[in-house]
Amino acid sequence: MLRFLSQELDRIVDEQRLYAMQMLVQRIRRTREAEESGTRQAEERRRRAEDELFRQVRILFLNVL
């Protein structure tokens, strides 16, 4: 009986350890996804700003000709 209880305790401890690792991995994944999303948003803003600048320069250039 004592052996069974010891094995059950080991199993429960292993499950808790795996659960904690799973939660940590999910937190890290969500953090990375948030960082990547912020990077993508910044890149998109920069791209839109560059497109707008190009459009304005093109309009100015066409008006000069």
Single pTM value for the model = 0.65
State the total domains in the chain: 1
Q: Per-residue pLDDT tens for 5-23? A: 999 999 999 999 999 999 9
DSSP structural state of residue 1: -
Percent of the chain with pLDDT over 90: 92
CB atoms within 10 A of CB 15: 10
Report the run of H or E that residue 46 belongs to, with start and end: helix 2-64
Structural domain for 32, as ranges: 1-65
Assign 63 a pLDDT band (cuts: 50, 70, 90): confident
Give the residue-averaged pLDDT of 32-60. 96
Assign 2 a pLDDT band (cuts: 50, 70, 90): very high
Q: Which amino acid is at 22?
A: Q
For 61, the token pair is: 């250039």
Integer Cα distance of 52 and 59 in angstroms: 11
For 10, the token pair is: 């080991």
- 3 state DSSP class of 65: coil
User: With 90 as the cut, is the pLDDT of residue 50 above it?
Assistant: yes
